[in-house]
Chain A
Amino acid sequence: MQHNWLRWFNGYLIIILRGKRIERFINLAIQKRIQIWNIARYDEQRGKLAVKLDDFFRLKPLLKETGCRVRVMGRYGLPFFYRRVRQRYAFFIGFIAFISMLFLLSNMIWSVEVTGTEKIPKYKVVEIADKIGIAQGKFSFMLDDPDKIQGKLMEQIPEASWIGFEMKGTKAQIRVVEKVLPDETVQTGPKHIIAKKSAIVRNIFASQGKITIKVNDFVRKGDILVSGLIGKEQSPIAIAAKGKVEGEVWYETEVVVPTVQTQAVYTGEGHENYYIVLWGHPVKVWGFGDVTFKQYEAKDESFEPKLRNLQIPISWKKEHLLATESKTTKLNSNEILTFAIEAAKRDILTKMGTGGYVKEEKVLHQRQENDKVYIKMHVITMEDIAEEQTINVEGE
């Protein structure tokens, strides 16, 4: 038995036979290897059957022999389909045009997106991409391999350390990762390095200039640490001294710690209110029950639907009230001390700036007054005390 699709491919007819000797007709057809199928008998006189298109023309002698008459009921298959296509060619041209248009338009680059640029201007990236062939209106299947494009882009934009190229639907995405170039050294005039704070010098790292101090020297604020004047004393050459000087700096701070501290603690109870917000006015829709607690913290959660970029004036807001309880805790002397040290460190770190650390801390004095402890502390830090100072060259 042939498959249905093969029958369809060759084309077949459904015919009605009229005559008395239909059985004879069937037997003869089988003998002559004429393919017939789906044979049904209406009554004594009529039968319906399907026959292959090629075999239909071979039926004539059989019909003559059996005295049957034939009427074609239906034509199916590719040959007839093809004829129909020819009759309605305009429709099919339209259909094929539609499919191909859909294919072409969906494979077109509709936009080029450049992300990640900071210093490199975007238009420059777009321009270079245009040269390579990534531009609006180009077909994406005509493009090279993404890796190759990436390579080309990287070649042409040396300022970038990496460029990624990807087609996302009809959007060409170019991701740029810029090189972080070292800061260009600003040519400056002659400079000294002086002390920012009074300190004991511990480390000196000078790359340019003449060191005027020794390790373990005590320096006052404003003292010259690294001189920008080098060479003979009579005719010195002024240069920009460069370097880092680490010194021990002493601080004295006073910290006030309350002995009794109040904190808000969640009890676990909660209450929820729901609102519909219309043009900025919230309308309560749920949560009318009594709130059983007085102290609470409110958390809002809102859902604002958006139509593309349009804000819809209706939104949904959920308000969550979390019951709280104030809890007072009394600190013991140990806790007070650790608390004070932490606070002092924090205070000094803000004063110190970057790069330094606390070396040592010492409690000098401690006194209690009205639930508060006043702690005077001595803190030793290591930090960079170098500061630049321009030299006014005389005679210029």
Chain B
Amino acid sequence: MRKLWGRHLRKIAAKMLDLPADVTMEMPRITMIGQIHMYIENHRGVLQFSDKELRLLLTKGQLLVRGEKLVIRAILSEEVLIEGKVSGVQFIE
């Protein structure tokens, strides 16, 4: 009940203050440059990584990135920069 309240409050605050959703609601912000670069903020860790697939944990659900020759160029606790040839992005609830 309390948690629900909190989320509700946040939503209202976001609307009133006109803040972007990624800041208030801990959603991932994904920036892509064509197929070659992909920059993901607000992730919660690497679940699975191979040169064809990267599965990232999010606050809510998972993010699946498919592609070829994927390389993690840089990784920090909340950000990750991927290079390679991205063919698909999928959200898993």
Chain A residues with a Cβ under 8 A of chain B: 1, 22-23, 26-27, 30-31, 33, 36-44, 47
Contact = CB atoms under 8 A, between A and B. Distances in A.
A39 B75 contact: yes
Interface string B50-88: 110000000000000000001111111100010000000
B77 A41 contact: no
Contacts of A38: 71-73
Contact of B48 (A23, A42, A43): A23
Contacts of A44: 50
Contacts of A42: 51
A41 B73 contact: no
A187 to B, nearest CB: 98
**Highest count of chain B CB atoms <10 Å: which of A1, A27, A41:** A41
Contact of B46 (A1, A26, A37, A43): A26
A27 B72 CA distance: 13
A47 to B, nearest CB: 8
A229 B49 CA distance: 125
Given A37-B73, A37-B75, A22 B49 contact: yes
Interface of B: 45-51, 70-77, 81
A30 B49 contact: no
Nearest to A25: B46
Main secondary structure of the interface of B (DSSP, over half): strand
A48 B45 CA distance: 18
A85 to B, nearest CB: 30
A30 B44 CA distance: 10
11 contacts: A22-B49, A23-B48, A23-B49, A26-B46, A27-B46, A37-B72, A37-B75, A39-B49, A39-B75, A41-B70, A42-B51
A128 B73 CA distance: 68
A41 B49 contact: yes
B47 A26 contact: no
Given A33-B77, A39-B75, 13 more contacts: A1-B76, A23-B49, A26-B72, A26-B75, A27-B45, A27-B46, A31-B77, A37-B75, A38-B71, A39-B49, A40-B51, A41-B49, A41-B70
A39 B77 contact: no
Given A40-B51, A41-B50, A41-B51, A1 B45 contact: no
B80 to A, nearest CB: 9
A31 B78 CA distance: 10
A60 B5 CA distance: 44
